[in-house]
């Protein structure tokens, strides 16, 4: 059948011999791509009388949406919270390196820092599409500084701030601008947090609850005012208690507004969260699970000392601690590793594991109409994976941006 170019002159690619993750299940279908978008083949055949210009044999691989990492502090020697002269090139390096781990979009994450750091770095974080240069940038995730000193974790106490005096204006003064911000993590027990949450959500910024000693009623009130996410569930929050489960209780709360879903981040690295806790969370609220790496500068590097914002951290195997302590400080796990660990630890389906790193983060950010699925008209950001979920190739806008074979691996 000849190609019909009346609709578009752009070439049509057909990916064959594959299993697509679509409609929450793996289906034996071909994937059709044109101009960076996923095509509906029926429209192509019957409306345009078109066919593929290029066919690619996937050799039985799984095709799944690209992973979206909404909490990544750096990697490969780069720390997103460190004000350096080559900050932009550092972001470029990380965005390029994470392609091999299946990440096609991400939120560079800054931990609690002085206002001067936000003022210097945020203007340099450009929201952009992904491509051969690297994964797309969705906007910054600011984890702090409006958090609890009691649950500071690896955050420097001297930089922790409050907005009790001037509310939202304090937050604006600290960050300088909200233009490039996608997510803000805060402790909802801080006075005037309801006002701050409402102002952030009004501007389309996702509010996450974390590094907090909030009880369940405070967490529920935050959700009623617009919060939709929990930062690294179980870590840096009150432990679950049967009389007041704290923020963890949001997973099964009956006070969530109708039509609203609370999502929660999980560091599925085998260190931050015991597999039993991972299973409890997943079984309690499977549709809210969002896998995050919470990776620090040491991801991809040898053990030793590295930075995390204002702190020095030490990597010992897969453990990362604030130097001289046993306080965990982010992870060195990659997203594909987290997906495989989640699959193994929970015994969930392959589809469920993949969606926790793609569909769910897209839904959290309200971008599921273009990211996180292989639905027709979505961005053609996808991965080729083997049956054990090792990434074989990464595509952004339908173009191959990384392939395992190309490295002789």
Residue 402 three-state SS = strand
Residue 294 falls in the annotated catalytic set: yes
Kindly name the residue from 69, 79, 269, 294 that is annotated as catalytic: 294
Evaluate whether 193 touches 222 at the Cβ level (below 8 Å): yes
Residues that constitute the known binding site: 143, 154, 211, 232, 235-236, 243, 272, 328-330
Residues that constitute the known binding site for Zn(2+): 143, 211, 232
Q: How far from the centroid of its chain's Cα atoms is residue 144's Cα?
A: 17
- Side-chain-side CA neighbours of 164 within 13 Å: the count stands at 9
CB atoms within 10 A of CB 399: 15
Q: In what order do the strands lie in the sheet with 37-38?
A: 37-38, 31-34, 12-16, 54-57
Residue 208 three-state SS = strand
Measured N-to-C along each axis, helices 193-202 and 216-224 cross at an angle, to the nearest 10 degrees, of 30
**Token pair listed for 243:** 């009389």
Evaluate whether 34 touches 10 at the Cβ level (below 8 Å): yes
CA 129 – CA 401 distance, rounded (Å): 13
Residues that constitute the known binding site for substrate: 154, 235-236, 243, 272, 328-330
CB atoms within 10 A of CB 1: 8
CA 284 – CA 270 distance, rounded (Å): 19
CB atoms within 10 A of CB 26: 18
Q: Tell me which long-range contacts 344-347 makes (C-beta under 8 A, separation of at least 24).
A: 345/268, 345/270, 345/275, 345/278, 345/279, 346/275, 346/278, 346/279, 346/282
Evaluate whether 334 touches 293 at the Cβ level (below 8 Å): yes
CA 293 – CA 299 distance, rounded (Å): 10
Kindly list the catalytic residues.
Answer: 294
């Amino acid at each position: 059948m000849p190609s019909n170019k009346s609709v578009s002159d752009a070439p049509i690619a057909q990916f064959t011999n594959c299993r697509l993750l679509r409609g929450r299940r793996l289906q034996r279908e071909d994937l059709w791509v044109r101009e960076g978008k996923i095509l509906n083949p029926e429209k192509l055949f019957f409306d345009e009388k078109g066919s593929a210009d290029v066919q690619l044999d996937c050799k039985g691989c799984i095709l799944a949406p690209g992973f979206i990492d909404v909490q990544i502090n750096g990697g490969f020697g780069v720390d997103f919270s460190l004000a350096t002269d080559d900050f932009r090139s550092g972001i470029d390096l990380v965005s390029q390196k994470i392609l091999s781990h299946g990440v096609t979009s991400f939120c560079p994450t800054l931990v609690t820092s002085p206002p001067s750091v936000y003022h210097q770095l945020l203007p340099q974080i450009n929201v952009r599409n992904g491509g051969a240069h690297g994964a797309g940038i969705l906007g910054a995730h600011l984890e702090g500084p409006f958090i609890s000193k009691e649950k500071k974790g690896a955050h420097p106490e001297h930089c922790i701030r409050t907005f009790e005096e001037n509310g939202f204006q304090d937050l604006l003064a600290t960050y300088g601008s909200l233009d490039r911000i996608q997510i803000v993590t805060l402790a909802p027990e801080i006075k005037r947090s309801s006002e701050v949450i409402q102002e952030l959500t009004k501007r389309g910024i996702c509010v996450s609850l974390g590094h907090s000693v909030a009880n369940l009623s405070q967490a529920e009130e935050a959700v009623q005012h617009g919060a939709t996410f929990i930062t690294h569930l179980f870590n840096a929050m009150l432990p679950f208690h049967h009389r007041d489960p704290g923020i963890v209780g949001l997973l099964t709360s009956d006070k969530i507004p109708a039509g609203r879903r609370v999502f929660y981040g999980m560091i599925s690295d085998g260190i931050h969260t015991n597999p039993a806790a991972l299973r409890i969370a997943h079984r309690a609220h499977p549709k809210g699970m969002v896998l995050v790496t919470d990776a620090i500068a040491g991801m991809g590097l040898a053990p030793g000392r590295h930075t995390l914002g204002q702190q020095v951290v030490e990597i010992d195997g897969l453990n990362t601690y604030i130097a001289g302590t046993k306080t965990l400080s982010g992870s060195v796990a990659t997203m594909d590793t987290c997906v495989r660990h989640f699959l193994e630890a929970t015994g969930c389906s392959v589809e469920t594991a993949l969606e926790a790193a793609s569909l769910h983060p897209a839904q959290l950010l309200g971008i599921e109409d273009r990211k996180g699925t292989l639905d027709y008209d979505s961005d053609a950001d996808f991965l080729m994976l083997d049956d054990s979920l090792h990434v074989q190739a990464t595509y952004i806008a339908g173009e191959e941006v990384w392939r395992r074979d190309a490295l002789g691996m």
